[in-house]
Amino acid sequence: MTAWWAAGPTMAPEHRLHPASALFRFGHLLKDFAFLALPLLVAGRSMAMDLLAVAVMGVLVLPAVIGAIITYATFRYRYEADEFVVRSGLIFRNERHIPYARIHNIDAVQNPIHRLFRVAMIRIETGSGIEAEATLAAVPVAAIADMRRRMFEGRGAPIAAEEAEQYASPVLLKLGVADAFVAGFLLNRGYLIIAAAIGLVFELGPDDMVRIVGESQPGRAATAAVQETIAASGSVAGTTVALTVAGIVLLMIAIRLVAALVLASRLHGFVLSRSGADLRTESGLFTRVTRTVVLGRIQRVIVHESFLHRRLGRASIQVVTMGHSVTSRSEIAWLAPLVRADEIDALVALVPGLATHAFAWNPPHPSITGRKLRGALIGAALGALPVGLLAGPSWGIAVLLLLGGWMSLAAWLYARNIAWAEGDGVVAARAGWMRRKTVIAVASRVHTAATWTSPFDRRAGTAVLTADTPGHGVPLQMRYLPIDIANRLHATIVARAGR
């Protein structure tokens, strides 16, 4: 008797995953169950609660083992003439057909355990939604090249000897160890680490924090001193305020360095290469990720040039394509995490429709400078007010002068750096001084365009034009445009959209 999942006489040969897929499936389920038990361990105030958490984990382990084995035993995939077919399930059977023509991205992920078993997790993405169309938990590394070859040939893409070797195509960009760290420092500001620390403090509570860090820690002693000073005199000494600010600055620098190391490990060994009509990237120190992006599916290009980028003569280039999954878009997006400024045009020109993107930048409405300066002065006054109330009028005035001068300079520089452009079927917008972003899109790929005005815009005679394409990421937004120009650009983009 033939099992229900066995290939029939008219079917192409079916393939199974590597046996290690059962281990990965079990680990994934165990991780999900751990999140259920973790709140019990954290919130537990007695041995009974801790034992309950352990019991919950124990009860859930056996079903996880059985589920992992069943998933491995029933999962099959095969290559038909024009589609990729995946079958799985024992009680509820699922069969998914993915036409090769709809496949946009084929990603391979290898963490250290994957490399130990010489397998990789494969994600196949199309433009049908925000999730991967199919995920293969453990495919032998030796079979990945054949998988790409079959899918690309079925898609009608020109295939040559470059698919036989992973790096047979020319290398467009390669980052060294120092470049990866610089990119990590420039791109990662440590917000996730800060959010995780705040969440941990709120979850544990003050009593648990005292038990962990102790009563005699310098930070706790300084906090207690500030509280006692406020309670005694109703104000804080200026020296205490200065030391507190310096401590916060040093902490932020340390967090950013740690975050830079984390991102640098993900960008380690970054290689960008081209294979026919596709771009391929590979990066990662611990988890090695290989991405394939179809050039024709790129919707818009985002060039990041922060203040530090410009001082180093570097930039970072991000692309938004149709069909990225939520789980991988943050890693796929970086086409070039770090590139020399004189190489930006060459990389942008790889995208079809942007090869002749030369255009002249146009300034915004003249009223932007006054509007930004007024907002800066108001913000400085609001920021200096609590300092004056706590540390005294002299400190408040000092903060007002320093903060007002800095914010006014930043507002003036922002007004000088914002611009918009159009030409050769391309629209672009640039904004920001400290973190400048340039968004470039082909007008024919814009799906939605809209103009809107605030009461301040209507008073100044300006408008905001937003042009968005499929995919996630930063939309193209032209701010502080004269109303007549905004309406003209809107009509032009709408006329070209979808063509």
Q: Tell me the pLDDT tens digit for each residue of 468-481.
A: 877 666 678 999 99
CB-based contact 305:438 (threshold 8 Å): yes
C-alpha angle 441-445-451 in degrees, rounded to nearest 5: 75
CA distance 394 to 392: 6
CA distance 229 to 223: 10
Neighbours of 410 (CB within 10 A): 14
CB-based contact 169:274 (threshold 8 Å): yes
Residue 383 or 65, more confident: 383
Task: Please give the average per-residue pLDDT across 344-366, as a whole number.
Answer: 81
pLDDT at 487: 92
Strands 278-283 and 288-294: antiparallel
Residue 32 corresponds to which tokens in the numbers above? 């999900």
CB-based contact 103:125 (threshold 8 Å): yes
CA distance 329 to 129: 12
pLDDT at 453: 92
Q: How many residues comprise the chain?
A: 499
**DSSP reduced 3-state for 497:** coil
Which range has the worst mean pLDDT, 20-29, 265-274, 278-287? 20-29
- 380-386 long-range contacts, CB within 8 A, separation 24+: 380/404, 380/407, 380/408
pLDDT at 213: 47
Where is 102: in which H helix or E strand? Answer: none
Q: Tell me the pLDDT tens digit for each residue of 119-137.
A: 999 988 876 656 778 889 9
pLDDT-above-70 percentage for the chain: 72
CA distance 42 to 146: 47
Residue 1 corresponds to which tokens in the numbers above? 């008797």
CA distance 191 to 142: 39
**DSSP reduced 3-state for 272:** strand
Residue (of 348, 342, 365, 333) closest to 465 by Cα position: 365
pLDDT at 329: 42
CA distance to 81, 125, 129, 138, per residue, from 85 (Å): 10, 14, 18, 16
Task: Please give the average per-residue pLDDT across 142-148, as a whole number.
Answer: 87
Match 């309950």 to its residue by tokens: 52
CB-based contact 85:25 (threshold 8 Å): no
CA distance 437 to 315: 10
pLDDT at 195: 57
Residue (of 324, 338, 333) closest to 268 by Cα position: 338
328, pLDDT greater than 60: no
Residue (of 255, 101, 120) closest to 193 by Cα position: 255
In 213-285 the beta strands, taken as DSSP E runs, fall at: 271-275, 278-283
CB-based contact 141:163 (threshold 8 Å): no
Q: Tell me the pLDDT tens digit for each residue of 153-204.
A: 766 654 444 444 443 458 889 999 999 888 888 887 655 556 555 555 554 5
pLDDT at 49: 58
62, pLDDT greater than 90: no
CA distance 160 to 281: 19
For the chain, the average pLDDT equals: 78
Q: pLDDT grade, residue 217 (50/70/90)?
A: very low
Chain centroid to Cα 177, Å, comes to 21
DSSP 123-171: EEEESS-SS-SEEEEEEEHHHHHHHHHHHHHHHT----GGGTSTT-SPE
Task: Please give the average per-residue pLDDT across 437-460, as a whole number.
Answer: 88
CA distance 106 to 85: 15
Residue 357 or 334, more confident: 334
Match 């973190």 to its residue by tokens: 435
Output the CA torsion sign for 370, 371, 376, 378.
positive
